[in-house]
Amino acid sequence: MAVSHLECRECKARYALEALYVCEQCFGPLEVAYEQDGGARDVGELRRRIQGGPQNIWRYADFLPLAGGPPGPSGRLASRVGLPAGCTPLIRADRLAKRLGLREVWVKNDAANPTHSFKDRVVSVAVTRARELGFETIACASTGNLANSVAAHGAALGLDSFVFIPADLEEQKVLATGIYGTRVVAVEGNYDEVNRLCTELCADRDWAFVNINLRPYYAEGSKTLAFEIAEQLGWELPDRCVVPVASGSLFTKIAKGFEEWRAAGLLEGELPRMNGAQAEGCSPVATAFAEGHDICRPVKPSTIAKSLAIGNPADGPYALDLARRSGGSVDAVSDDEVRAGIALLAETTGVFTETAGGVTTAVLAKLAERGDIDPDERVVLVITGEGLKTLDAVKGTFETYAIAPTVDAFQDGVPQTVTV
């Protein structure tokens, strides 16, 4: 599936594979288009090719928008170049399933990426494409995780970087960015204002803003989450995926990944039901879904789930369309439910996620409680980030027993029965 051109998702106008992201005719988003080989390819051979590839996203290079194939001196060496993402664990979460009255729940733990979020997937692809196009400086507008990843990739590949974040971001995310030797620009304003500023800056600078002028390539990286889920399930589709929604890009591109593999003959069956997860304090997509609208009305975010705090979601209309046509939904949960979601996942799986994962877990719990999920369904919960980056969210949620170093103090001060 060789990469062919950029195409407007709205009016289908074609563009060359440059650092372009907007259709000049209708302002629609540009997407990467591939040459279709008409299903002529031998599926067995394609599977073996993938399985023989490196233990990272470059094993899916046939489905990624790079002109030169996977980075590195050869495909074999690709896993040694830069900061490769992917091949994160898919965990069978029976205890979580039981708690929710479901039969089969899997947790895709994308906190197990180099900078502890799924953003390493999209940045790996965007930065590799940026180097192909000759850029020497990379940049981004970020709610935190993307900043971590862009800064780290810049360090790993020797590229200059600028990362723009809202000034009120979690301290852990700021520290885990600055340490890579990037320039952290803390903008007074919310993410949407950071994004507007970067869109303006992008116009007059020869920089690769990974989620602006490189966005068509960047977004393709999210497909690798779908590829991995399917490969890890033994080349099968799940029945349902629960995915956090900020801009809607991850949500829609996971579905695109499944659809490309169905078209290639690698997977059989229906597109999974796609459930989007938002926090009530920033739920433009969930609100539009509930009200039956095709487009999202922007909001001013106010939620502890800062990594999802995008009030003006670029892929909102497509996320709504996907939720509807796949038989899914987009739901929102309160900040208290987010904290409870973090605890639920941690207590039943041993995975400590950030607030975005709390949102996703809480939405899964909500769907289960509402009876939306058939008990026989195979459900995948997509966990996109690491709990250590949003520690404030869990402060004060459990008791620590402070005692003197004596047996008596332990006996008197600590309850001796534990409920598991």
Per CB under 8 A, residues contacting another protein are 10, 21-29, 141, 191-193, 195-196, 198-200, 202-203, 209, 211-212, 215, 246-250, 295, 297-298, 300, 310, 312-315, 317
Question: Distance (Å, rounded) from C-alpha 191 to C-alpha 310?
Answer: 6
Rounded to 10 deg, the angle between the 145-157 and 119-132 helix axes is 40
Q: How many CB atoms lie under 10 A from the CB of residue 167?
A: 12
Question: Distance (Å, rounded) from C-alpha 341 to C-alpha 330?
Answer: 17
Question: Distance (Å, rounded) from C-alpha 2 to C-alpha 129?
Answer: 14
DSSP-derived 3-state class of residue 311: coil
Question: CB of residue 8 vs another protein: minimum separation in angstroms?
Answer: 10
> Rounded to an integer, what is the distance from CA 100 to the centroid of its chain?
24
Beta strand spans in 198-325 (E): 208-209, 240-244, 273-279
Based on CB atoms, which residue is closest to another protein, 136 or 200? 200
Based on CB atoms, which residue is closest to another protein, 197 or 271? 197
Question: CB of residue 150 vs another protein: minimum separation in angstroms?
Answer: 13
Based on CB atoms, which residue is closest to another protein, 348 or 355? 355
Question: CB of residue 29 vs another protein: minimum separation in angstroms?
Answer: 4
Based on CB atoms, which residue is closest to another protein, 53 or 244? 244
Question: Distance (Å, rounded) from C-alpha 103 to C-alpha 378?
Answer: 7
Question: CB of residue 281 vs another protein: minimum separation in angstroms?
Answer: 16
Q: Whose CA is closest to 314, among 199, 162, 164?
A: 199
**Which 8-state DSSP code applies to residue 28?**
P
Question: CB of residue 247 vs another protein: minimum separation in angstroms?
Answer: 2
Q: What is the DSSP string of 155-215?
A: HHHT-EEEEEEETT--HHHHHHHHTTS-EEEEESS-HHHHHHHHHHHHHTS--EETTTTTH
Question: CB of residue 197 vs another protein: minimum separation in angstroms?
Answer: 9
Question: CB of residue 210 vs another protein: minimum separation in angstroms?
Answer: 10
Note whether 165 and 145 are within 8 A (CB): no
Based on CB atoms, which residue is closest to another protein, 107 or 141? 141
Based on CB atoms, which residue is closest to another protein, 179 or 295? 295
Based on CB atoms, which residue is closest to another protein, 274 or 346? 274
